[in-house]
C-alpha cells in the first residue's frame, strides 16, 4: 500500500533553515508528481509546492524564493529545503502524492519557527 513518511521537522529560529524529507513506498515513485501541503496549528490547508516526474516545479507565492523542492527517484524520496524561515511558516508539513489533486498523504512533520 502507498506509504509516505515525513521527517526533518523541529524547532528553528526565525531566519533559520530546515530540510524536510519524505520517504515513499508502495507505488512507482518516479511516475508521480509529488507535493508539499502545510497546515498551521488550528488552521486550514495550504498548498506549498509541487515537482513533476520531469522536475517541472512551482511554489506558492508565500514561499517562493525561500523554499526549494527536489526529488531523488533512485531513493524514492522527496525533499523540501526551507530557508529564511518566518514565524508564519510554523505548521505541520505534509508530503502528498500527485498534483494538483492529492490522493495520498503522509502523517506530517511539525515545523515550529520561534525564537
Partner 1 sequence: EIVLTQSPGTLSLSPGERATLSCRASQSVSSNYLAWYQQKPGQAPRLLIYGASSRATGIPDRFSGSGSGTDFTLTISRLEPEDFAVYYCQQYDRSPPTFGGGTKVEIK
Residues making contact with partner 1 (CB under 8 A):
44-47, 58, 60-61, 94, 99-108
Q: Cα dihedral angle (38, 36, 104, 75), rounded to 10 degrees? A: -140
| Least separation in angstroms between CB 94 and partner 1 | 6
What's the min distance (Å) between Cβ of 24 and partner 1?
14
The nearer residue to partner 1, 45 or 77, going by C-beta atoms, is 45
- Would you say 79 or 99 has its CB closer to partner 1? 99
Shortest distance (Å) from residue 62 CB to partner 1: 10
Least distance from partner 1 to the Cβ atom of residue 15, Å = 25
* Three-state SS sequence of 16-85: CCEEEEEEEECCCHHHCCEEEEEECCCCCEEEEEEECCCCCEEECCCCCCCEEEEEEHHHCEEEEEECCC
* CB of 89 or CB of 108, closer to partner 1: 108
Q: Hey, what's the cell of 81?
A: 529545503
Amino acid at each position: 500500500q502507498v506509504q509516505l513518511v515525513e521527517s526533518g521537522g523541529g524547532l528553528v529560529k526565525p531566519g533559520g533553515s530546515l530540510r524536510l524529507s519524505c520517504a515513499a513506498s508502495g507505488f512507482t515513485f518516479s511516475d508521480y508528481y509529488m507535493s508539499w501541503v502545510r497546515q498551521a496549528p488550528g488552521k486550514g490547508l495550504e498548498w506549498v509546492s509541487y515537482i513533476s516526474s520531469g522536475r517541472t516545479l512551482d511554489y506558492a507565492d508565500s514561499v517562493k524564493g525561500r523554499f526549494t523542492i527536489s526529488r531523488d527517484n533512485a531513493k524514492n524520496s522527496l525533499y523540501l529545503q526551507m530557508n529564511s524561515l518566518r514565524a508564519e511558516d510554523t505548521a505541520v508539513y505534509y508530503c502528498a502524492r500527485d498534483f494538483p489533486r492529492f490522493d495520498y498523504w503522509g502523517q506530517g512533520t511539525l515545523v515550529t519557527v520561534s525564537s
